[in-house]
Structure 1
């Protein structure tokens, strides 16, 4: 039996890159001491998220745009060493374009990069949109990544699962409700949706699921934390709740996938030709 010890982070990050790297270094060190081989940090953990989902605040230029081959990602690579580390950042796409992105690295370099496809509310005023979902191989297994609102669309995780992803990793800056927020963040309806999406995406695709999220507050946003590890049956193996922390779980991924898919294989039993829109166009995902 070959097990993988993995962790998803709930933590507070802001605009100051030096402070963000200090937090990331502390979390990587803590995870490494606990035997973690795969670590997921939140969306926008390098440079912070937006102060508001109504567009940039007048006094804020937004997160710094970082090049995928730039010094900040190289610094993350050096920090990762023998671990697989996933982290969200604002990507400089060249020609003035900016993407809300997530990168996967080890000490050997960049293994994968994803640009957020689905943009909630006014996020498209700050970022361009990505255009694909893909899985890639890592020392921790075949991984597919997405960012925050991407997980609200079943097609996102399904595309990754069909591309062979064994582990889905979603990094978020998911806040509590904008209207009628609950005084108790644990009872907030947007937190319930956050948790429901995590469990549903794992179960419907029968994959392991890591969900990292911002915690604390930033600008007008109050994040729900709730980092977690979910097994292919949709059961939560570890969860930080609304507080900062690391959700750590150990699992034999190959065995867990085989067990979940043995009798009812959701990917195997699909009937793509029956999934059509009114236009008659087949939905192959």
Structure 2
């Protein structure tokens, strides 16, 4: 059995005034809980170190305060040190400012010795780039981040993590089947995803939390099933300075079934022992891509962006 004991470390709200150091202490508390329950990998949310700052229009000097210029850094070093001491791999998201001045919504993964072994930058940025007076609140990811430039790679994890093939996505990526399929075509066995999703649709307030949670879970379960992979989707949730984020963190098996689900919008740990060999049946039967894919008919997927209905 190639097993990863997976911890999904949902985080409650992070307020605008909360320091990185205070947040990291919460992350370490969750890590300690995970170690006590036998976890070998702990996954935290998107933008795990800060509040969801794209909800505000800010000048650039203030924006840069939300970004990390190196990783690890003095604020996050205690998390890396504790993970290394416990022998637990970690994965979390943050706002990345590169030495060249580029800004990305980023997620990383370490090995069990605390070394960063994988980095992903969010491709499908939602929202808008300029202030929108018609929205109930702003969602300025297109203003503060560039689309990711690393594609959707996968990584072969070390033997002490089952030699699993892992890939990463962030938040809105989960809604795009193309992202899942690119990972699936590389044999992904564990899809890691963090998110910060508002509980309210800024353009359609009547949508309701129930529907938003359903769509999130539907996307992850479908992606896991259609690519025969384990998936973990981890939220930052709760009321951030009057702006609620939904929870709904889940761990999903390769048949698309939820095997663990968060019950709160607070700091909460989900744990499940995931056998990477459970992905084999789907990958060698209904989703045996080599036998069943018909790429001669898929040209539109990479040949156009906007939908083009027939005339008439």
Using the size of structure 1 for normalisation, the TM-score is: 0.87
CA distance in structure 1 between the aligned counterparts of 2:212 and 2:119, rounded to whole angstroms: 27
SS at match of 1:25: helix
How far off its partner does 1:73 sit?
A: 5.1
How far off its partner does 1:74 sit?
A: 4.2
- Which runs of structure 1 show a deviation greater than 3 angstroms over 4 or more consecutive aligned residues? 54-62, 68-76, 278-281
For structure 1, which segment, 144-153 or 61-70, has the greater mean C-alpha deviation from structure 2 after superposition? 61-70
**CA deviation vs aligned residue, 1:179-228 (integer Å, no higher than 9, x gap):** 32577x4x2x2211111111111011110001111011224531111111
Q: Measured at CA, do residues 248 and 279 of structure 1 come closer, stay the same or move farther in structure 2, by a change above 3 Å? A: closer
SS at match of 2:299: coil
Using the size of structure 2 for normalisation, the TM-score is: 0.80
Q: Does the Cα contact within 8 Å between 2:251 and 2:261 map onto a contact in 1?
A: yes
The reply on whether 1:161 has 2:184 as its aligned counterpart is yes
Greater per-residue strand proportion: 1
**CA deviation vs aligned residue, 1:202-260 (integer Å, no higher than 9, x gap):** 01111000111101122453111111110111000000044331221112111x11133
SS at match of 2:205: coil
CA distance in structure 1 between the aligned counterparts of 2:302 and 2:179, rounded to whole angstroms: 21
SS at match of 2:289: coil
Identify the residue that residue 155 of structure 2 maps to in structure 1: 136
SS at match of 2:193: strand
SS at match of 2:300: coil
Q: Does the Cα contact within 8 Å between 1:13 and 1:20 map onto a contact in 2?
A: no
The reply on whether 1:246 has 2:269 as its aligned counterpart is yes
Residue segments in structure 2 that go unaligned for 5+ positions in a row: 128-139, 305-312
Greater per-residue helix proportion: 2
**CA deviation vs aligned residue, 1:146-202 (integer Å, no higher than 9, x gap):** 11011111111211222232100011111223232577x4x2x22111111111110
CA distance in structure 2 between the aligned counterparts of 1:228 and 1:39, rounded to whole angstroms: 13
CA distance in structure 2 between the aligned counterparts of 1:225 and 1:33, rounded to whole angstroms: 23
CA distance in structure 1 between the aligned counterparts of 2:287 and 2:157, rounded to whole angstroms: 24
Structure ID, larger Rg: 2
CA distance in structure 1 between the aligned counterparts of 2:31 and 2:102, rounded to whole angstroms: 30
The reply on whether 1:102 has 2:125 as its aligned counterpart is no
Residue segments in structure 1 that go unaligned for 5+ positions in a row: none
CA distance in structure 1 between the aligned counterparts of 2:145 and 2:75, rounded to whole angstroms: 19
CA distance in structure 2 between the aligned counterparts of 1:209 and 1:165, rounded to whole angstroms: 10
The reply on whether 1:223 has 2:245 as its aligned counterpart is yes
How far off its partner does 1:69 sit?
A: 5.5
SS at match of 1:118: coil
Q: Measured at CA, do residues 168 and 278 of structure 1 come closer, stay the same or move farther in structure 2, by a change above 3 Å? A: closer
For structure 1, which segment, 29-38 or 56-65, has the greater mean C-alpha deviation from structure 2 after superposition? 56-65
CA distance in structure 2 between the aligned counterparts of 1:66 and 1:221, rounded to whole angstroms: 27
CA distance in structure 2 between the aligned counterparts of 1:278 and 1:246, rounded to whole angstroms: 37
For structure 1, which segment, 153-162 or 65-74, has the greater mean C-alpha deviation from structure 2 after superposition? 65-74
Q: Does the Cα contact within 8 Å between 2:21 and 2:75 map onto a contact in 1?
A: no
